[in-house]
Structure 1
Amino acid sequence: MKKSALLYTLALFLGVKTTFAQNQAAATPQSKPIALTGATIHTAAGPVIENGVIVFDKGVITKVGPAGTAYDKTGTETIDVTGKHVFPGLIAPANQLGLVEIEAVRATVDQQEVGAINPHVRALIAYNTDSELIPTVRGNGVLITQVTPVGEIISGMSSIMNLDGWNWEDAVLKKDDGVHLNWVGYFKREFNFETFSSTTKKNDKKEEQIRELAQLFDDATAYAQIKNPNPINVKLEAMKGLFDGTKKLYISADYGKEIIEAVQFAKSKGVKSVVIIGGEESLLAADFLRDNNVPVIVSGTHRLPNSIDDDTDLPYKLPQLLAQKGVTVGLAYIGMHWRTRNLPFLAGTVAGHGMSKDDALKLVTINNAKILGIDKYVGSLEVGKQATLVVSQGDLLDMRSAKVEHAFIQGKKIDLDDKQKRLYKKYSEKYGTK
């Protein structure tokens, strides 16, 4: 009797059409050449091509040009995208996408290691390719992310990931590209989650922490001179690349004086490549940054200025003002990882405050690629680069007209479905609000 009931229940379960959905599988490799024709092509490397053609095969761009550009149509899948726009896939630096799913659920948060100094911590091994947030970000044209740990002083190493793959080994574009340092400032901000407000307090431990940092870098410099260290010190091993240029030192700093102090410290310790992240007051140090060839990844521009004496629109104009000073500028949405999907609209805001649309696009494409050291592969639509690109119905930087219809990562066609779209469809059908 029990056996019959069990079999009946199992049959009933298998026979019921489930309404549950899950994330789509990783895209399959490109099997034949694809040509996109008729669109406006924003290359981020030269003039915009009206009514253009872009062809890619085996994940690599083979042709980019105006209508009539010759290509072998035999076996090529031609997609007519007339009237639409083709952009390079956007690049989002310095965020925790794939490390955090639900901030209030500790089991889904894997962004920080215990301790204040952790240069050896690798963000990529915690990267979750099954995150429900990743498809929502891809739907706005962001196809590459720099997954970055957070922490106290040295949080660890970031890696640059394609937003598609079965696992982190599939998704990784560049492993362990740099070490992240939160500069020890004169003041520190503390956020109160009960009142949802932040306060600024004097950092009484600054001198002690600077001495600790100096000792660490001195030890790392000496360790880097040893050809075959035995035993291996994992912390110092992780820092070796800072002194030969194979890794970058990303320094989070906002205040002008602290930005200068941080760069001078890094240079004095033999660090070859330094990048400032945040840089809210970087305009005060713009000449210094330009002269020392230090790029800035500006944090989200949708904020209030730091000082009541500042122009209200200063955060929106900051990338343009830095660029005018000769500083290489990128743009990121730092803080709320799920808001990374709004990255194109940050660039759109910059375009509305003095910068041209073409240059604003570069902030989140080729400029970010150059700063992260991946511009040989992505960041612009040029022959020989990876076919990581999006097709939008309108301007990708304008939330009113942006609607991504196709996305390709290394030539692989990406499924643009996501949980938010499924929920919208589900309840619009229920309540008749299509």
Structure 2
Amino acid sequence: MKKIVLTILTVAALGRAYAQNPPAAKPQAGAIALTGATIHVGTGQVINNGVIVFDKGIITAIGDANTPTTGASVINVSGKHVYPGLISPAATVGLQEYASVRATLDFNEVGVINPNIRALVAYNTDSEVIPTIRNNGVLLTQAMPLGGTISGSSSIMQTDGWNWEDAVLKKDDGIWLNWPGYYSREFNFEDFSVGLRKNSRREAAINSLLATFSEAKAYAAQKTVTPINLKFEAMRGLFSGASNLYIRADYAKDIIEAVKFAKEAGVQKIVMVGADEAHRVASFLKDNSIPVILSPLHRLPNRQDEDVDLPYKMPGILQKAGVTVALSYNEEWWRTRNLPFLAGTAAGFGVTDREEALKMITANAAKIMGVDNVVGTLEKGKHATLFVSKGDALDMRTNVVEQVYIQGRTVDLDDKHKRLYKIYKDKYEGQKPLAEKK
């Protein structure tokens, strides 16, 4: 009996071990050269039959077929495509696992004014969602907090690492503000319609924000403060330009009001997030140099009188107006793996070309978040955070990621989806069709 129990426990343990995520990648051991590929630099430039060389996690050379590869292990990727690692801004990847299990949700904190809350320390590198997104080329994500009026600070994370200390690329890049708008949406579960209701708490919320930002600005003007106020200390970077203020607002009037509020409060860098009606105030955003992180494009418009494909066209409208645009899946963490296909949709609905659409999930996102000096494009001196795809990464039919490198580390591409595919493929492959069984 004891032997049977031990056998069952051993099998269960092995099964559990098999289901774990692959370990974090080891540091790059030697120089690597990828040759023969079509290289999408991320700046709009495309290098045909190109070569990219990287060592110790840094790109050392990039160019055409004549680029030297001396001393590097050469990997021929002819006929394939090399892209900079895709960046998912405004995401909760790593902060939540199962929507129906409260213990796995770590993006929200009790309270209304929480600038000192850091999403960074809640980032779970063992999340089973993370390997699924990097298998489509998403190698960087912005872990953002939710909830309250001031939610806390976000950080830029790599999708590989033993813990958040290993994974972090940039700590506390900005503070998140949920703007108290004139109206809030109300979902009707009976007919699945969306209605609007007046925000009765708006005035009180704005008065609270006015007081908070006023005190935080006065606090930031002092070099040393005793005792330290954790909330105001977290907001110090907003007034020096070291941190962004990410403002969630959808309606045109709310967008204008929120930007004016932030400017009057002394905030140096403002980013609009969501911005469903950004097309109505595109000139205002351009004149004030406000970049936008859009909500997911694969949805219906919010107003009944708008074009049904307006969300698809939004990136193109803003791009042509001169607004810097990045794309995101926002709170839909498990769908973040489809981020490249948002750019593909944008390319088909008004963005000038596919390379400009690619910038919306690489260079533009990196610039908005202040990490464009190390990631977002494939250039000499930047991190070797890139991937090799069998075809066009923006097309779901040809996005087949075959190699991934994060800071030069070779990343294992196993994930839960692939394991389940293999399990059920093996199960049904040997079975006879139902007609034959009869």
- Taking structure 2 as the reference length, the TM-score comes to 0.94
Change (3 A) 1:192 1:103: farther
Q: Distance in 1 between matches of 2:375 and 2:129?
A: 22
Q: In structure 2, what residue type is equivalent to 1:167?
A: N
Corresponding residue number in structure 2 for 1:224: 220
**Among residues 347, 355, 358, which one is paired with 1:358 in the alignment?**
355
**Among residues 254, 258, 261, which one is paired with 2:254 in the alignment?**
258
Change (3 A) 1:243 1:193: farther
Q: In structure 2, what residue type is equivalent to 1:26?
A: A
- Matched ranges for 1:15-414 at <5 A: 18-20=14-16, 21=18, 22-72=20-70, 74=71, 76-191=72-187, 198-355=194-351, 356-414=353-411
Q: Distance in 2 between matches of 1:237 and 1:195?
A: 46
Q: Distance in 2 between matches of 1:12 and 1:240?
A: 56
Q: Distance in 1 between matches of 2:83 and 2:356?
A: 13
More displaced stretch, 419-428 vs 19-28: 19-28
1:108-136 Cα distance to aligned partner (Å, 9 max, x none): 11110001111110001000000000000
Q: Distance in 2 between matches of 1:11 and 1:309?
A: 64
Q: Distance in 1 between matches of 2:12 and 2:284?
A: 67
For the Cα contact (< 8 Å) 2:44–2:355, is it kept in 1? Answer: no
Task: Measure how far apart 1:190 and its partner are.
Answer: 3.7
For the Cα contact (< 8 Å) 1:84–1:392, is it kept in 2? Answer: yes
Task: Measure how far apart 1:215 and its partner are.
Answer: 0.4
Look up the SS of the partner of 1:405 in the other structure: strand
Task: Measure how far apart 1:15 and its partner are.
Answer: 8.3
Q: Distance in 1 between matches of 2:13 and 2:366?
A: 45
For the Cα contact (< 8 Å) 1:389–1:409, is it kept in 2? Answer: yes
Q: Distance in 2 between matches of 1:190 and 1:181?
A: 20
For the Cα contact (< 8 Å) 1:387–1:408, is it kept in 2? Answer: yes
More displaced stretch, 63-72 vs 389-398: 63-72
Q: Distance in 2 between matches of 1:82 and 1:328?
A: 33
1:399-428 Cα distance to aligned partner (Å, 9 max, x none): 011100000100001111101110010001
Q: Distance in 2 between matches of 1:196 and 1:150?
A: 24
Task: Measure how far apart 1:193 and its partner are.
Answer: 7.1
Q: Distance in 1 between matches of 2:300 and 2:404?
A: 34
Q: Distance in 2 between matches of 1:194 and 1:414?
A: 46
More displaced stretch, 165-174 vs 182-191: 182-191
Identity over aligned residues, as a percent? 58
Q: Distance in 2 between matches of 1:179 and 1:41?
A: 35
Task: Measure how far apart 1:12 and its partner are.
Answer: 7.8
For the Cα contact (< 8 Å) 1:45–1:382, is it kept in 2? Answer: no
Change (3 A) 1:59 1:196: farther
Q: In structure 1, what residue type is equivalent to 2:231?
A: K
Look up the SS of the partner of 1:249 in the other structure: strand
Q: Distance in 1 between matches of 2:277 and 2:192?
A: 23
Q: In structure 1, what residue type is equivalent to 2:313?
A: K
Change (3 A) 1:237 1:17: closer
1:261-283 Cα distance to aligned partner (Å, 9 max, x none): 00000000000000000111111
For the Cα contact (< 8 Å) 1:243–1:271, is it kept in 2? Answer: yes
Q: Distance in 1 between matches of 2:268 and 2:246?
A: 12
Look up the SS of the partner of 2:231 in the other structure: helix
Q: Distance in 2 between matches of 1:16 and 1:264?
A: 59
Corresponding residue number in structure 2 for 1:429: 426
Q: Distance in 2 between matches of 1:178 and 1:344?
A: 24
Does residue 1:420 correspond to 2:420, yes or no? no
Change (3 A) 1:16 1:23: closer
Q: Distance in 1 between matches of 2:319 and 2:357?
A: 11
1:310-333 Cα distance to aligned partner (Å, 9 max, x none): 222211111111111111111111
Q: In structure 2, what residue type is equivalent to 1:269?
A: A
Look up the SS of the partner of 1:323 in the other structure: helix
Corresponding residue number in structure 1 for 2:436: none
Look up the SS of the partner of 1:19 in the other structure: helix
For the Cα contact (< 8 Å) 1:243–1:270, is it kept in 2? Answer: yes
Q: Distance in 2 between matches of 1:313 and 1:25?
A: 42
Q: Distance in 1 between matches of 2:44 and 2:348?
A: 21
Task: Measure how far apart 1:384 and its partner are.
Answer: 0.6
Q: Which runs of 5+ in 1 are unaligned?
A: none
Q: Distance in 1 between matches of 2:192 and 2:230?
A: 38
Q: In structure 2, what residue type is equivalent to 1:381?
A: L
Change (3 A) 1:135 1:193: farther
Q: Distance in 1 between matches of 2:82 and 2:421?
A: 26
For the Cα contact (< 8 Å) 2:388–2:403, is it kept in 1? Answer: yes
Change (3 A) 1:418 1:353: same
